[in-house]
Structure 1
Amino acid sequence: MAFYFRWLLRITGGFVVLIALAIAVVYYLASRSLPDYNKTLRVEGISAPVEIMRDNANVPHIFGETDADVFHGLGYAHAQDRLWQMIMLRRTAQGRLSEIFGSRTLDIDKLLRRLDLYRLASSSVEAQDTRTVDLLEAYAQGVNARIDEVNRDALGRGAPEMFLFPHAVAPWRPADSLVILKLMALQLSSHLEEEVLRARVSIALPDPERLRDIMPDAPGSGIAALPEYSALMPEMPRFAKTTPLPDHPLSPFKPRAFAGASNAWAAATSRSAAGGTILANDPHLGFSAPSTWYLARLELQSGGVIGGTIPGLPTVLVGRSARLGWGLTSSYLDDQDVFMEELDPDNPQEYRTPDGFKPFETRKTIIEIKDEAPVTLTLRWSDNGPVLPASHYSLGAVTPPGHVPALGWTALSGEDTSMSAAIALMGAADIEEALDAGEAFIAPAQNLTLVDDERIALKLIGAMPRREDAHRSKGRLPSLGWQPENRWQGHFDYSANPEFVAPVGGILGNTNNKIVERPFPLHVSYSWGDSQRVKRWQRLMQGRQVHTRDSFMEAQLDTVSSAARSLLPLIGADLWFTAEAAPKGTPERQRQRALALLAEWNGEMNEHMPEPLIYSAWLRALQERLIRDEIGTLAEEFTHVEPLFIERVFRDIDGAAAWCNVIRSATEETCADMARLALDDALLWIAEHHGRQLETLRWGDAHQATHDHPVLGEVPVLRYFVNIRQSTSGGDNTLLRGRTSGKEPAPFTNVHGAGYRGIYDFADPDSSVFITSTGQSGHFLSRYYDDFAQLWRRGEYIPMSLDADLARAAAVGTTTLRPRR
């Protein structure tokens, strides 16, 4: 027995030693790619030494003799900290993910190849102004300097992910930066899906008049009634297979609920306590680890610039200089249209145009797939845009027989000068110069909020499609591509873009809400991203005569839901205080406990409170009960509660209370019945997922922010090291926006929000504050991988100054790039 015991100990000890050695080897290999921020390196492509000084938050402050040298330094710094992220963005946009991940990402690659973004980006390089081309090339040289250093010095392949997914890394090119901007446009676009979904719902509804309820227009829009979709098309398919979007963390095809959101507001000197203009901005994107955003400071010939960059893009997209501050919010400009192209019955390689049938432009492309045979695609373009597969956003469900869908989209330009506009904006001295720079911006369309020393302004930048007054669907439904009245007539002049400069009230802002009321085709959009957050913003802005950096900070972090405050009295009107006391343990007693909690609640979506969870579950269950009966499985497309829909139903606007009656039942249900049943549904769901003790529930347990690594986040064991999960406040309709996933089994997980926050007070510019949602580094072994995460969660910020001496005093490392002679 002792003999066997000794051998068991030896074998166990051997396994422990082997595991320890394996961990040590893995750690050694992974840590080799940790950047050394204190060094001197000789590189090609710079005219004089470049200094990259890292402050104590690992924010690089980059100094050089010329702007090209500074951009070289930015490229090097981006590649030091986020090389894997940059490579994945490039591969995604190129449609080359399957070379690494196999057939799992094939659908993503197919769709990206059909859009042909990389070819369009390559041709757009020549459309940039000379200075932008020079800076793009300098930035690319900086990225390549880091890649060369990694290869030469065997620095762990540049990132830990490279060991799990080894592949050759091609040199960075200017087109790589331009295509990432187009990829951002894709992530922020929603009108294609909006058109298709509107068409599908109009076909499914028993009463087409009810379409305005479930897909409501922003208040005050005054839209005339549209024709039924079937009336626009020659013949509709009776049955059509629908396919969901590619479900992969790297997929840029986001459902319309995540098509982009953001907040920005500005105060003029007359509304500032300290006498200087103030700007707050927090653009919203899907959460990931590392964050999309990366903080940096560039010392250009025109002066210092500091703020948020995106690795791969050589520009400070949001931030400030000594003279100007700028922020971005999604404009929701209707910049996409679906065209149904009629095929020639005798030759399906041709499609109908106003002048007769015409051949598609075609080109073959080959997709390499790891461990499988390559796939050859034939890309087709009509005059209106690329032909898309019927599976994309369920286009097949609204495509008539003998037709194929094509996409018109402003981002599909081979002469896209948006990068030139972004780079010119950094050097603008005042609002006029910044507005002039915005004229070259094409896509993604954004609302640009500006402050200089004295004034504030807001301008929509991006190409506005010029549609005909006689457009059959006004861009709201797919239309026949050969009809002249449906085709785009170029773009409106930049002067037609909405603009607000130095308003009398001294306050400007945008929460993706409707900003103008203009007739079609100058309407900008019929679909906007917000109708609720703006209500709370208006109250906070009007509640003070003057504002400070701290009051703007409070607004950025505000968690009160105006939607909850307005909807709860409506849906609970016939439930509160109307029932007799119920025995313990009964559903009626649980309902009464929930109603008692909500009766005392002020709508604050605080992570430590139970009421936000009860409210959110109730509204979700209520919308499901209201719409499932009418539109069947299409209800699954409505993953988030639409407050305007609930309000229309319970106020019975234009007969919207009809949604409360279940058409398949013999009795006639009232809205009070549906509210009661939905509350019971919600409490049952809460009991199954979070327990029956309502008073001990925490919204933050359900509303966890999921900063997940897009590739390693699903790998067992590793996911505990690379994913960042946090209990958070806020919700879908709060200024501190935490967009929920909308998917079971965790529909309230926080997956989309402010990855960057910045507040700039020009009364004291060096008091400006910034934060991102994770950290500067993309290396999970770095202490800078998640050091911002808890600050971000608590609503804290870091200061960032353009004072070089302050940065040097807090420096944790300095990299000096010297010309190679």
Structure 2
Amino acid sequence: MKKWKKHLIGWTIFLILLLLAVSLVSYIMVKRTLPQYDGTVTDNRIGSEAIIYRDSMAVPMIIAKSQEDAAYALGYLHAQERLFQMDIARRAGEGRLSEIFGDKTAPFDLMFRTVGIAGTASESYKRIDTTTRKILIAYSNGVNKFIDEAGGKYPVEFGLLGYEPYKWKPEHSLIIAKMMAWELNLSWWSDVAFAHIIKKIGKEKAAELLPDYPENAPLIIDDRFNRFAEAPLELIKTDREFRKFTGFIGTHIGSNSWAVSGKRSATGKPIIANDPHLAFSAPGKWYFALIRSKEWNAEGFTLPGLPSIVIGKNRNIAWAMTNVMADDADFYIEQIDTINNRYFVDGQWKNLDVRTDSIYIKNKGYHKFVIRHTHRGPIISGIHPYRLINKKSENLQISMRWTGNDFTNELLSSFLLNRANNWREFLAALKYFNVPGQNFIYADKEGNIGYVCAALLPARNNASPTLIYDGTTTNSDWKGYVPYDMMPKLFNPEKGYIASANNKTIKTFPYHISNIWEPSSRIERITQLLNSRGLHTPDDFRNYQTDFVSPYARFLTENLLKGFENVKIKDANLELVLELLRNWDYNMKAGSQTPSIYSAFLYFLIKNTFEDELGPDLIKEYVILANVPYRKIYELLGEDSNPLFDDVTTPRKENKNDILRKSLVDALSYLEINYGKNPVDWQWGKIHSVTFKHMFHGISSLADKLIDIGPFPIGGDGTTVFNTEYSFVTLFDKGDTEYINKEKPFENILGPSMRYIYDFANPDYIKFIMPTGQSGNFISPHYRDMTEMWLDGKYHVVPLNEDEFKEKSVHKLVLKTKETN
């Protein structure tokens, strides 16, 4: 062998060995970050002792002497499995992301400092009850025990970003609760977007774009509106960028839940089910836990950062939640004096509350800014994605009133809910649940079912949706809140079931609740399924939760086919497409081509109906909340004619059938260009897939393979019970392409963040599943061990009996106080 070949082989072997050695060392270093599941941990901050048993999926049962020790153990567990997730959430709420991420997160910090989430949490902590304070302190001690002992072995993300977490405070848990309220607070997006639509096309035309807007209801728009119109839209852009940064994307932020009473259950006892729809991420939103102590016995879904079972059950009752979609924020155009110290209201000048604050930006130092408040709330018009960097200084003055900035005590509500024994105690607990507004469905072991709308609803002067108010008068100020006793409630209805899918709460109500209800498709299908048989089983509920049939698709397709009646078709593919649609059962299953045809058609139907009036930029704001175009298209197709169908850019006057036909032809062209001429290649699962993305997604394709979970083909869409939303905004962000953004335009970004089913006739077991797993550590076997089951509609069955759980457990960790001599 030639000498140079020997050297080449030698160096190749050396480099391979070196790479293996580096990989091994890296793996060992990363593995050190895995949490301790067995053994004993001592700490003088725990009152006595808590024993944590874990099953094969890392689901823990906490057995503690007191509720404070249980809270300590839950804090320790959350920190073990989700510390980075918790740290990012509290940093966001505190406005401290830029300390580690630099310039790119400065607008987010400015936004949350201005909105005032951390300040509200701090003031709230001073006012909470003694029990809540004790549990928050105990929980914080558990988190801090892990932070103390994990020094140098924090989750990998901390090392990659080059920082260490600071101590957890009780107020941080209140910030987590407020951040959840912010994530679910979307009604103001439509307020602001429609204000800009009015600026472009006028009040009357804009009113036509609002779904279900009463014909004679006024739009309260100040004459000075045009001057200030740009400000709140920048708030939307900043908030949208923040949600993209943290993974809180998607706008079908709702849920499904239902319960049947014993008379509608094959088992003779109530059965309850829930699947909240939230943005997908890795790790996921929830952490499942069972808690056993003298005062606190409950099991279900917790949010890392909060010491409570948010959704679940105890020995006597079970509960489920969906978003009320409450309109809980308003904007006001303010008249500010030239030195920005006073504002004009009711004929007099009043002093602004002026505060100076600062954020620290990595590698740049401190940036100071001024926050101004009226009696309603902060002036938010200075929030702009690039203002901190570009130093722009527009004179824009709009204030924001949000229920999340008031004192509320959802944790007390949750603690009381975890301990409630019956309907009366359930009602009493929910009196304190205010934000985010939630529909609570109830069932108990005695056979009862019930419903409560728990939300802090502003009492406004009118019961109609509004846009931006005139701030120079208090006529549009909130007149307090709707009393809890007046909120909609339901107990043991004659039909034997209760269901909620973010649909309209009640037909008539003296106060405005919302104008952003979800399309009725999901609740129609759930109701159809619940009425399809006299008695239901847990297996039936499983099938319902994974159902891909869309009543909305049925309605649109029927209208589309009518539009092609008596039309001569010459194109072979168009004829085939129409035949597929005629024979479709409206099941959006991944292996079918018809859902792809329908979904492309829906996109072009929205585009061809609204873009001529709004233009390519404003239509992206119109579709921000997907339920708005969904519902408006449904309304329009129910009419024989409507001026919105006319394309104002052409000389002829188009009608409904013209737009339906054009939209299908455009959809066909899109599919042929992007996926080939043969419809065999148009399976929905190829176009519509789901990936559970880590926050670091996109840094490199190699890293994505390690930290992301997926992609997987998936069925459904935003109108199916198994909600698999794709982003309308992404669809309308065409870039340089003629037909839709080609970079995964129909990617599933939001859906069931968990599923659970509980049958009171089988009280010792609960069924649940999550999209990813319990752990936030990407090398943990529990980072993705639930994904396949979630995709397949399967559930993890957890025994609730202590002895059985212990017997089946695979890990035991003891947390106890240090022994003293």
Same fold (TM over 0.5): yes
One-letter code aligned to 2:530 = M
Pick from 782, 786, 794: which aligns with 1:796?
Answer: 794
Alignment partner for residue 227 of structure 1, among 182, 206, 218?
218
Q: Tell me the distance in 2 between the aligned counterparts of 1:303 and 1:89.
A: 27
Looking at structure 1, the residues matched to 164 and 82 of structure 2 have their Cα atoms a distance apart, in angstroms, of 17
Deviation of the 1:524 alpha carbon: 1.7
Q: Work out whether residues 189 and 259 of structure 1, in 8 Å CA contact, stay in contact via their aligned partners in 2.
A: no
Correspondence 1:640-789 to 2 at 5 A: 640=626, 642-652=629-639, 655-656=641-642, 658-725=643-710, 726-742=712-728, 743=730, 744=741, 745-789=743-787
Percent identity over paired residues: 29
| TM-score normalised to structure 2 length | 0.92
Confirm or deny that 1:177 pairs with 2:167: no
CA contact (8 A) 2:228 2:397 kept: no
Q: Distance in 2 between matches of 1:451 and 1:327?
A: 9
The alpha carbon displacement at 1:712 in A equals 4.5
How far does residue 735 in structure 1 lie from its aligned partner after superposition?
0.6
Q: Which residue of 2 aligns with 1:623?
A: 606
Aligned 8 A contact 1:384 1:481 in 2? no
The match for 1:247 is: 241
Letter in 2 for 1:607: A
Q: Deviations over 1:719-749 (max 9, x none)?
A: 1111112211221100111111231332211
- State the one-letter code of the partner of 2:423: I
Distance 1:359 1:291, change over 3 A: same
- 2:618 is matched by which residue type in structure 1? L
Who is 2:128 aligned against? 128
1:240 deviates by 4.5
Distance 1:372 1:259, change over 3 A: farther
The answer to whether the 8 A contact 1:98-1:109 is kept is yes
> Which residue matches 1:434?
426
Cα deviation for residue 802 of structure 1 reads 1.7
In structure 2, distance between residues paired with 1:239 and 1:271? 53
Deviations 1:513-568 (A, max 9, x none): 00112355x23223212322111111111112122212222211111000011111
Report SS of the residue matched to 2:398: strand
Cα deviation, 1:576-596, whole Å, max 9, x if unaligned, reads: 57324x3xxxxx222212111
Q: How much does 1:214 deviate?
A: 2.8
What residue is the counterpart of 2:538 in the other structure?
Answer: 549
* Equivalent in 190, 194, 197 of residue 190 of structure 2: 194
Match of 2:287 among 283, 287, 294: 294
Alignment check: 8 A CA contact 2:325 2:437 kept = yes
After superposition, residues 52-451 of structure 1 pair within 5 angstroms as 52-151=52-151, 154=152, 156=153, 158-205=154-201, 208-217=203-212, 223-228=214-219, 230=221, 232-234=222-224, 236-237=226-227, 240=230, 243=234, 244-245=237-238, 246-247=240-241, 251=245, 258=251, 260-302=253-295, 304-344=297-337, 346-354=338-346, 356-389=348-381, 404-413=397-406, 415-451=407-443
Distance 2:690 2:102 in 1: 29
- Separation in structure 2 between the aligned mates of residue 483 and residue 252 of structure 1, nearest angstrom: 38
1:605 aligns with 2:588: yes
- One-letter amino acid of the counterpart of residue 645, structure 1: K
- Whether the 8 Å contact between 1:31 and 1:781 is mirrored in structure 2 is yes
Structure 1 residues 481-490 or 296-305, which shifts more?
296-305
Match of 2:574 among 586, 591, 598: 591
Asked whether the equivalents of residues 298 and 305 of structure 1 are also in contact (C-alpha less than 8 Å), the reply is yes
Corresponding position of 2:733? none
Which runs of 5 or more residues in structure 2 are unaligned?
A: 388-393, 731-740
Q: Distance between the aligned counterparts of 1:722 and 1:502, measured in 2?
A: 46
In the other structure, the counterpart of 1:480 is: 470
2:454 to 456, 461, 465: 461
1:258, CA displacement in angstroms?
Answer: 1.4
Q: Is the 8 A contact 2:56 2:809 kept in 1?
A: yes
Moved more, 163-172 or 208-217: 208-217
Matched residue type, 2:717: G
Cross-structure match for 2:735: none
Q: In the alignment, residue 76 of structure 2 is paired with which amino acid? A: Y
The aligned residue for residue 21 of structure 2 is 21
Q: Which residue of 2 aligns with 1:585?
A: none
Q: Superposition pairs for residues 29-48 of structure 1, below 5 Å?
A: 29-48=29-48
Structure 1 residue 404: deviation in Å? 1.1
8 Å Cα contact 2:211-2:635 kept in structure 1:
no
Q: 1 CA distance for matches of 2:360 and 2:47? A: 40
Q: In the TM superposition, what are the counterparts of 1:806-817 in structure 2 within 5 Å?
A: 806-817=804-815
CA pair 360-2 structure 1, distance change in 2 beyond 3 A? farther
Aligned partners of 1:202 and 1:228 also within 8 Å: no
Residue aligned with 1:816, SS: strand
Instruction: Call closer, same or farther: CA 1:238–1:359 in 2, change over 3 Å.
Output: closer
Q: Contact 1:249–1:710 (CA<8 Å) still a contact in 2?
A: no
**For residues 223 and 668 of structure 1, what CA distance do their matches in structure 2 show?**
27
How far apart, CA to CA, are the structure 2 residues paired with 1:796 and 1:610?
25
1:60/1:295 contact within 8 Å kept: yes
Deviation at 1:484, TM superposition (A): 1.9
Q: In the aligned structure 2, how far is the partner of 1:123 from the partner of 1:380? A: 18
Q: Distance in 2 between matches of 1:740 and 1:434?
A: 36
- Partners of 2:576 and 2:699 in 1: how far apart? 39
Q: Is the 8 A contact 1:250 1:710 kept in 2?
A: no
Find the residue that maps to 2:720 and give its secondary structure.
coil
- CA gap 1:501/1:714 in 2 versus in 1, 3 angstroms: farther
Q: CA deviation at 1:235?
A: 5.0
User: How many residue pairs get matched?
Assistant: 791
